[in-house]
Amino acid sequence: MDEDQYRSTYKNMITRQCVYEKAINSRRTSCKQANKIRLADREAVACRLQDACTLCTSFLKTLRSKSLFALKLQNYSGPLPHAKEIKVQMGSIIGLALDNNIEIEQDKKVDNIYTLLTDSLNKYQTIENLPYENLIRSIVNYEGRPKRKRQKNN
């Protein structure tokens, strides 16, 4: 399947794309509202609930704009580079978990993004009131997978 055909099929199959798709596909987090779909040799993630999709989209959009300076991307528009997007997604999830007193052990998955976000909203009332200073600190401190070293062929 060529890339154009893949994108076309993806758009037809996924009506509500999960904005945390990259984090979920990294296998470090999950969400009860996520619906994984295998397409060709890839996994796509759709959101089952419109309210969840709207909430997560709004939160992530706000978080991206507030974290641009910390990511060293002033005046950046458009989608973030993959590694920076993973930092934003996973860093925010870890930050929310810590703020909700959920212990995160090394190499353990953070479960249910939507519940984590709704619990935080119950605590802070609005997206604007969330503890962005702590979330951005968590984003900056998030370490993705280490780069693989290339082996030299002799």
In a domain, 151, yes or no: no
Domain count for the chain, please give it: 1
In a domain, 16, yes or no: no
| 36 Cα distance to chain centroid | 15
Q: Quick one: average pLDDT of 140-146?
A: 83
pTM for this one? Answer: 0.82
In a domain, 129, yes or no: yes
Longest dimension (CA), the chain: 61
Q: Based on C-alpha coordinates, what's the Rg of the chain? A: 16
In a domain, 41, yes or no: no
Q: What is the pLDDT of residues 5-33, one digit of tens each?
A: 767 776 777 778 899 999 998 888 899 99
Identify the pLDDT of residue 154.
Answer: 55
In a domain, 112, yes or no: yes
Q: What is the pLDDT of residues 64-107, one digit of tens each?
A: 989 988 888 877 777 888 889 999 999 999 999 999 988 776 66
How far apart are alpha carbons 19 and 117 in whole angstroms?
13
In a domain, 87, yes or no: yes
Structural domain of 58? 50-141
Whose tokens are 């802070």? That residue is: 124
How far apart are alpha carbons 48 and 34 in whole angstroms?
6
In a domain, 31, yes or no: no
Q: What is the pLDDT of residues 45-71, one digit of tens each?
A: 889 999 999 999 999 999 998 998 888
